[in-house]
Structure 1
Amino acid sequence: MLKIGTMSFCSCVHPLVPLLRPVIPKMGSPQLHTAARCAAKDYYEVLVLGGGTGGITMSARMKRKVGAGNVAVVEPHETHYYQPLWTLVGAGAKQLATSARPTASVIPSGVKWIKSTVQELDPDNSSILVIYRQRSLPKGGFNYPKIGSNYSVNTVEKTWKALQDFKEGNAIFTFPNTPVKCAWAPQKIMYLSEAYFRKTGKRAKANIIFNTSLGVIFGVQKYADALLEIIKSRNITVNYKYNLIEVRADKQEAVFENLDKPGETKVYQYGMLHVTPPMGPPDVLLNNVDKGTLQHKKYPNVFGIGDCTNLPTSKTAAAIAGQCAVLDKTISSVMKGQTSTKKYDGYTSCPLVTSYNRVILAEFDYNAQPLETFPIDQSKERLTMYHMKANMMPFLYWNGLLKGYWGGPAPIRKLLHLGLK
């Protein structure tokens, strides 16, 4: 058996539950090992592990391909969340409830929902082992005030509470030494917090610090230049190659390691702390999913999409939109015994929220080159892009992507750019 990997926040705060859930459509002849009380069959032509964005999207597409009765989704949670909205929830601009819908309402009609957790994956035998219990989220240090995280439904509202309660001192935002979903979300809440402090008259007493394990502010130079200008104009301190290793919540201290000098640490006192926990993919998919076809390199009936994969691009809902259209073609080719010619180019999008009414819409590919949809300079802060982020994208998510009808903006880009990339 190959075990599903886990992720934890390594500090005195107790571990967080996995935040990157595996989403793996499995083709061929898999068997599903379940408890006797489960009404599920022991065989499905397509088995989707995880009912997140990628899982629901592909289950909708696979239903149309092989029929609803041949598709099952393994997902333990009763509620499905549109997580990109949590940036605005953490800043008090949206309510958490607006990001939530019952899982039953998003799973395609007729597709079997197996309400359990994948414990073990055995790709050699095309089978999985599931358990019928959910692990609760130990909140640990999040029970203390002044700490929040936009990366969990249990802690995102604590970010807003920490913002409201902030009086003075260091407001620290972290980026871990691992891949993370929506890698620029830690910056978004930082910019929104700075805007909130200005709006509420607290800015003069706030020292805003971004401690990132990375060596750059953004991986695409065009957008990095724009963000550095914003950082400079708003007097934000950025410390590169600093990784959070411990939180002493009772003392309101955060401990960071200098990655350029391993073993050297620095302790910061904080008046507010936004934590981005370390994350990672399950072992069976680590470095094993082809970045073009999204097919497993060893197991031809295993595929990856979304946050669980090792694809070298930012992990966003927009990336899943681009991936799902490619994966649909890949699976169709595999079913026909053919080799897929459709390749995923790494397209992803990150609406960089820089205030309560402005967004820089970053779009780029595997080569960290801009791949913009609109024939304008998207590195500029724009009100129109904010409304797209806050209002249009959620509608497109629920009514297009999850239903398997949205495969990314490539056709629109081609039209708006008159056929030019």
Structure 2
Amino acid sequence: MNSKHQILVIGAGTGGLMMASRLKKEHKDFDIAIIDPAKTHYYQPAWTLVGAGTYDFEDTAKPMADLIPKGVKWYQDKVTAMDPDSNSVSTEKSGEIKYDYLVVSPGLTYDMSLVPGLSEAIDKGNVCSNYTDPKHTLEVLKNFKGGTALFTQPTTPIKCGGAPQKIMYLAEAYFKKHGLKDKTNVVFATNGTVIFAVPEIKETLMKIVDRKNINLKFYHALKRIDAEKQIAWYELAPEAYEHNPAKLEIEKEGNMVGIHYDMLHLAPPSVAPEFVRKSKLANAEGWLDVDHHSLQHNKYPNVFGLGDVAALPTAKTGAAIRKQVPVVLDNIEKLMKNQAADNKKYNGYSSCPLVTEYGKMVLAEFDYDNKFTPDPELKKMLIFDSSKEHWRLWILKKYGLPYLYWNKMLKGQDV
């Protein structure tokens, strides 16, 4: 079965649904199709709260069929290959689908093999990840009796770079609440060089880390997990350093260090989906090769990228997509009028809501230059400095953002 559509969108995540909704809302006569195999759409930003026991997992899910915009053709199918030279996409069940314009927004995928031992360990026993099974994270917290609570992340790009920290701050609050604080070392080991790259946010987070007495380990590249012995192995860069040292059970092997853990939370190593990595649309690192400001493909002008799959030097978040969609929409409209796709307004904006306690949050908003760029609208909520902890920001995270997501963003409204 072969079909052709004016605009084809790959992926019905935040980017794909938002794009399709905006297109259909503003151009009812456009022939738009979306490809995604998933039956359920999840609001993943709330999974941090699910893992900490303060949000119901069921409330993060909605049937995909209810979210596909009316008038948009949905192929509930998997993309197997993209051929930009013939303006076509191959699928598992629906054959070849042709397009005039292609928007690639399939998100990313996890490759557990990049950290040996991880696929055997993750989501079992005392190893958990809010990225894959936040309900298991809560079980691990409930079963924790003290010892070393290790929070870590891989060396690959990941969704929402702040998420491995958020659960750590909430876990520390959970331990305190349940009388485990004195029996516990909370450790954050990262390949990064600082806790956060935006100076205003870094300053706040370092104060929180000191208040919570969290042991930070920098320049620690996660290499393998030994679930049987409960050790996470890291390769240390010569510049490796720590903050708030703690007495931990440590193994050494050459330039590798093994940290014994009693619970381990991590973000899985992430890569672009295989059909992107193996296509002519990928860059050398396997991500979708687009212009950083117009989001137009660098070689194929009728192809655009949105969200996590795009090779953009900014954090992979839903908030970034919110600013990317209007730019892509404008550029496609221009191409249709035989004009250049010269809207280069995407400045790398991304945002990371950093939950620091049950009832407190910091909101990191920033651009390609890691410049702090708070939304002026926050003043209407009486939040005058979102780089500091605030209970109103917690309300925004738990109630405001999910409402905006389901009722505005996914329906193609400007937010």
Tell me the TM-score range normalised by the shorter chain. Answer: 0.7 to 0.9
The one-letter code of the counterpart of 1:368 is: N
Equivalent runs, 1:264-343 vs 2, <5 Å: 264-281=255-272, 282-283=276-277, 284-285=281-282, 286=287, 288-339=289-340, 340-343=342-345
Match of 1:19 in 2: none
TM superposition shift of 1:122: 1.0
Distance of aligned partners of 1:68 and 1:164 in 2 relative to their CA distance in 1, 3 Å threshold: farther
Q: Measure how far apart 1:342 and its partner are.
A: 4.6
Q: Give TM-score scaled by structure 2 length.
A: 0.84
Over the aligned positions, Cα root-mean-square deviation in angstroms equals 2.1
Q: Distance in 2 between matches of 1:143 and 1:71?
A: 38
Question: What residue number does 2:15 align with?
Answer: 54
Structure number with higher strand proportion: 2
Q: Give the alignment partner of residue 346 of structure 1, picking from 348, 352, 363.
A: 348
Q: Quick check: 1:387 aligned with 2:378?
A: no
Identity, % of aligned positions: 42
Question: Given the superposition, is the C-alpha separation of residues 317 and 68 from structure 1 closer, same or farther in structure 2, using an over 3 Å criterion?
Answer: farther
Unaligned runs of 5+ in 1: 1-35, 409-421
| Corresponding residue for residue 28 of structure 1 | none
> 1:260 deviation in Å?
3.7
Change in Cα spacing, 1:258 to 1:115, as seen in structure 2 (3 Å) is same
Give the C-alpha shift of residue 110 in structure 1. Answer: 2.0
In the alignment, is the contact (CA less than 8 A) between 1:242 and 1:256 conserved in 2?
yes
| Equivalent pair of 1:69/1:111 in contact (CA under 8 Å) | no
CA–CA distance in 1 between the matches of 2:310 and 2:55? 29
> How much has 1:314 moved relative to structure 2?
1.1
Alignment partners' CA distance in 1, 2:131 and 2:21: 26
> Aligned-pair distance for 1:251?
2.1
Structure 1 stretch displaced more, 348-357 or 68-77:
68-77
Q: Could you tell me which residue of structure 1 aligns to residue 196 of structure 2?
A: 218
Task: Give the CA deviation at 1:177.
Answer: 0.9
Aligned match of 2:221: 243
Is 2:351 aligned against 1:371?
no
Q: Write the letter of the residue equivalent to 1:87.
A: T
Task: Measure the CA separation in 1 of the matches of 2:326 and 2:15.
Answer: 11
Deviation at 1:158, TM superposition (A): 1.1
SS in 2 for 1:241: strand
Q: Contact between 1:175 and 1:212, CA under 8 Å: does it hold in 2? A: yes
Q: More displaced, 169-178 or 335-344?
A: 335-344
Aligned partner of 2:130 in structure 1 is: 150
CA deviations 1:192-239 (Å, max 9, x no partner) are 000000001111111111011111110101100110111011110010
Pair 1:79-2:40 in alignment: yes
In the alignment, is the contact (CA less than 8 A) between 2:110 and 2:269 conserved in 1? no
Please state how far the C-alpha of 1:65 moved relative to its aligned partner. 4.6
Task: Return the alpha-carbon distance in structure 1 between the equivalents of residues 231 and 343 of structure 2.
Answer: 52
Deviation of 1:144 after TM superposition, in Å, equals 2.8
Q: Distance in 2 between matches of 1:303 and 1:391?
A: 32
**Which one of 59, 64, 74 corresponds to residue 113 of structure 1?**
74
Note the C-alpha offset of 1:68: 6.7
1:23-34 alignment, distance < 5 Å: none
1:356 aligns with 2:337: no
Structure 2: which 5+ residue stretches go unaligned? 95-108, 113-118, 241-253
Cα 1:80–1:287 shift into 2, 3 Å: closer
What is the aligned partner in structure 2 of residue 25 from structure 1?
none
* Residues 1:124 and 2:100 are matched in the alignment: no
Aligned residues: 365
Q: Secondary structure, in 3 states, of the residue corresponding to 1:190?
A: helix
User: Structure 1 140/132 Cα, relative in aligned 2: closer, same or farther at 3 Å?
Assistant: farther
**1:292 aligns to what SS in structure 2?**
coil
State whether residues 40 and 61 of structure 2, in contact with CA within 8 Å, keep that contact through their aligned partners in structure 1.
Answer: yes
> Which moved further from structure 2: 115-124 or 82-91?
115-124
Question: Secondary structure, in 3 states, of the residue corresponding to 1:344?
Answer: coil
Residue 137 of structure 2, aligned match among 136, 159, 168: 159
Q: Which amino acid aligns with 1:272?
A: M
1:399 alignment partner in structure 2:
407
Residue in structure 2 matched with residue 416 of structure 1 by the alignment: none
Does the 8 A contact of 2:39 with 2:65 survive in 1? yes
Distance (whole Å) between structure 1 residues aligned to residue 386 and residue 121 of structure 2: 39
1:9-28 CA-to-partner distances (Å, cap 9, x unmatched) read xxxxxxxxxxxxxxxxxxxx
CA 264–343 in structure 1, closer or farther in 2 if over 3 Å, else same: same
Match of 2:62 in 1: 101
TM-score of the pair, normalised by structure 1: 0.83
Q: Which residue in 2 is equivalent to 1:23?
A: none
